[in-house]
Chain A
Amino acid sequence: MRGKLNSGKTGWAVGFIVLAFFVIYPFLVNTERSYLVYFLYMTFIYVAMAQGWNLAGGYTGQVSLGQHAFFGVGCYVTAILWRAKAIGYLDPLGMVLSGICAVILAILVGLLLLSKLRGDYFALGTLGLGEILHVIAINGGRVTQGPMGINLPSDAYISMTYYYFIALAIAVLTLIVVLVMTRSSIGLALVAIRENEVAAAANGVAVLKYKVIAFAAGAFVTGLCGSLNAYYTFHIDSAGAFDLDWVMVPILMTILGGSGTFLGPILGAFILSGVYELANMVMPQLHPIFSAAFIVLVTLFLPDGLMKYITGHKEGVLRRLPLFRAIARET
C-alpha cells in the first residue's frame, strides 16, 4: 500500500518522542513536589498491569479476574524478604524474585485451571484464587503479620525519581515483551486460540502451553508492580495488597482502550487515570461517583473500546488525523 512503510515509521517516531519526554521531564522539575511525576508514576504501573492482563485476557481471550493474587504476592514477597533483610531497598533481585514467585503461582494455577475450565469458569476460579490468598494473608501469623500488615523502614526513602524511572522501565519492558510476543508466532497462536480454540488445537497449536505462557507473562509483570508498590508505600496489608481495584482497574483500562490491541491498554490507562485524577481535583466529594458513572457511560457507548472505534469507524473524527491513522496502523 502506498505510503504504508512511512506511516509505520511515523508511529514509531511518535512513540519515541513521547518516551523521550517521559525520560527528560523528571530532570526539569522537582520530582518530590511535581504532581505530573506522581501521576505518570501511577499511570506507568497501570500501563504495565493493563498490558499484562491484555496478553492473556485480550489477545488469548482468557479473562482472568485474579491479577490481585499476583500483585499481592509481589507485595508480600518483597515485604517479607526486605523485613528479613534478605534483600535491600529497591533491590532489583528482590523485585525479580517477587515476579518469579508470581510466575510460579501462575504456572501452577494456570496449568490446573486453564486445562479444565473455560471462559467464565476460569475467570471465577482466578477470582477465588485471589480471595484465598487474601484470607491466607490475613491469617498468616508471623509470616504475614496478619491484618495489620508488615511495616517497612520508611527512612530508606531517597527520591521519587527512582520510583518514577523504575515504573517507566517496567512499563517499557512490558510493552516490549508484548510487542515481541504478539509479532511472533506466539502471537499468532494466541489469537488463534482466542478465535477458535478447537480449530487451533486441530492445527497443532499447543493450546495449554500458550495459554499458560500468556497468563504467566502477565503475572510476572503484575508481580513486579506489586513489589514496587511495597517499596513505595512502605506498608503492606492484606486489604491493600489484595484490593480488587488492582484487578478491575487494569481490566477496565484495557477494555476502554480496546482489548486485544497494543495501544489499547496504554490509551486506556492514561485516559482513565486522567479522568480519575481530574475528578478528584474538581469534585473531590463526588469523584468516586463520577468515575463510576464514567465507566458505565463508556461501556454503554464505546463497548468495543477506543482503538476499535478509531480504526473501525470511517467517519470518526480522530480517524482523519494522519497521526492517529499512522499509529493505528501500527497496531
Chain B
Amino acid sequence: MHWFSSLATFLQVLVNGVFLGCMYGVAAIGLSLVFGCMQIIFIAQGAVMILAAYCIFWMVTFTSLSPFWGFLFIIPVFVGFGFAMYTGLFQRVAKAGKNPSLLLAFGLMVLLEHVMAFVFSSDYRTVKTKFASTALGLGGVTFSVNRIIVAIVACAATALVFLFLKKTILGKAVRAVSEDMGAAALLGMRPEWVSAVTFSIGIALAGVAGVATCVIFPFDPYFGFIFSLKALIAVAFGGLGSVGGALLGGVILGVLESMSAYTIGGGWADAVAYAAFLLVLIFRPEGILGRSSGEKA
C-alpha cells in the first residue's frame, strides 16, 4: 500500500479522479437513457464513442480545426446516426424481447470495432489540442486545461439532458415511456418514436464522450469496450433512471479508480471497481440516486 505523501498529493489524485469520472459520467448518462427506453444494456456505447473519437481524429488531420469544435458538430451527426440505428435495426427486434436486442447491440459492437480496425488500422491514435501541455495550478494541485474543458462539457451535457427531460413535453414523454410504455401509448404517445428519440440522445452522448476521450487518451478500435463496462458500473453506482446519478456515479468511479491506482497499484484498480460494482448490485441495486429496484418480478 502506498499512502499519500501530502494533502496536495491527495487532492491531486482526487481531482484527477473527478475529471476521469466526468468522462465516464457522460457515457453513463447515455447508457442509462437507453436502458430506460429499451430495457437493455447497450454494450456498444463504448464502440460508438470510439467511432466519434476517430471522426474527430480525421477531422483534425484533414482540417486544422481544434478538436473542441468536434463537440458541436458531433452532436447533430450522431443524433442522426442514432435515429437511423434505432429505426433501422433496434425497432425491428424490440418486439422479440430483450435477448435479441442485447445480442444485436453486442454484434453491432463487434462489427464496429472490426470495421474500424480494418479501415483505420489498429494503431493507437491521439489527438493533440492547443492546450495539451497547459495546466493551471492551484494550491499545489495541477489542473490540466484539456481535462477542465472536458469536465465543463460533461456538466453542460448533463444539465442539458436534465433540462430536456424535466422541462420539455418530449422529455417528459421519454420518462413516461421508460416507466410504463403501455400507459403512455394509451395517452397517445408513440413508443417507437419516443424510443428512437431517447436512443438518439444516448448515441449523441456517446459521441460527446468520444470527443472527450480522444483529446485525453490514446485510443484504438477496441478501447471502447472497457469504457462500456465502466459506464455500466457508473450507472450502477448512481442508479438507473437518474441523469444526475449517472454523472455522480461516474465521478465516484473515477475517484475510486484514481485512489486505488495510487494506493494499491494500477492492476488492482480495476478489481476494486468491479468489486464495488458487485457490492452495489447486491446491497443497493437501485444505486445512490436511482428509484427502480434490482428485484424485478
Contacts and interface: CB of A to CB of B under 8 A. Distances in A.
Interface of A: 63, 112-113, 116-121, 123-125, 127-129, 131-132, 135-136, 138-139, 197-198, 244, 248, 251-252, 255, 259, 285-286, 288-289, 291-293, 295-296, 299-300, 303-304
A63 B271 contact: no
10 contacts: A118-B296, A128-B281, A132-B275, A244-B225, A255-B103, A286-B118, A292-B107, A295-B107, A296-B104, A304-B96
Given A118-B296, A131-B274, A300-B89, A288 B114 contact: yes
Contacts, number: 114
A244 B277 CA distance: 18
Given A124-B236, A132-B274, A255-B100, A299 B118 contact: no
Contacts of B15: none
Given A116-B282, A124-B236, A289 B41 contact: no
A285 B119 CA distance: 11
Contacts of A251: 103
Contact of A124 (B41, B110, B117, B295): B41
A120 B96 CA distance: 16
A289 to B, nearest CB: 5
A233 B294 CA distance: 40
Given A128-B277, A255-B99, A296-B89, A121 B285 contact: yes
A258 to B, nearest CB: 11
A116 B274 CA distance: 18
A129 B277 CA distance: 10
B96 A303 contact: yes
Contacts of A248: 106
A252 B103 contact: yes
B239 to A, nearest CB: 12
A63 B281 CA distance: 16
A292 B114 contact: yes
Given A119-B296, A295-B107, A303 B270 contact: no
A4 B270 CA distance: 56
B159 interface: no
A121 B278 CA distance: 10
B1 to A, nearest CB: 14
Contacts of B271: 132, 135-136, 139
Given A121-B285, A124-B277, A288-B114, 7 more contacts: A123-B41, A124-B232, A132-B275, A135-B274, A286-B118, A295-B103, A295-B107
Contacts of B275: 128, 132
B115 A289 contact: yes
**Chain B interface residue count: which class?**
35 or more
B108 A125 contact: no
Contacts of A118: 294-297
Contacts of A139: 267-268, 271
B172 interface: no
Greatest chain A CB density within 10 A among B104, B110, B232, B285 is at B110
Given A124-B236, A125-B282, A289-B114, A296 B268 contact: no
A296 B89 CA distance: 9
A82 B106 CA distance: 36
Interface in B33-68: 39-41
B103 A117 contact: no
B92 interface: yes
B93 interface: yes
B297 A132 contact: no
A244 B225 CA distance: 11
B111 interface: yes
Interface in B266-297: 267-268, 270-271, 274-275, 277-278, 281-282, 285, 294-297
Given A113-B282, A131-B229, A138 B267 contact: yes
Contact of A299 (B100, B274, B282, B296): B100
Contact of A128 (B40, B89, B99, B274): B274
B229 A299 contact: no
A300 B232 CA distance: 25
Contacts of A129: 278
A139 B271 CA distance: 10
A123 B104 CA distance: 16
Contacts of B236: 124
B285 to A, nearest CB: 6
Contacts of B117: 288
Contacts of A116: 282, 285, 294-295
A248 B277 CA distance: 21
B99 A296 contact: no
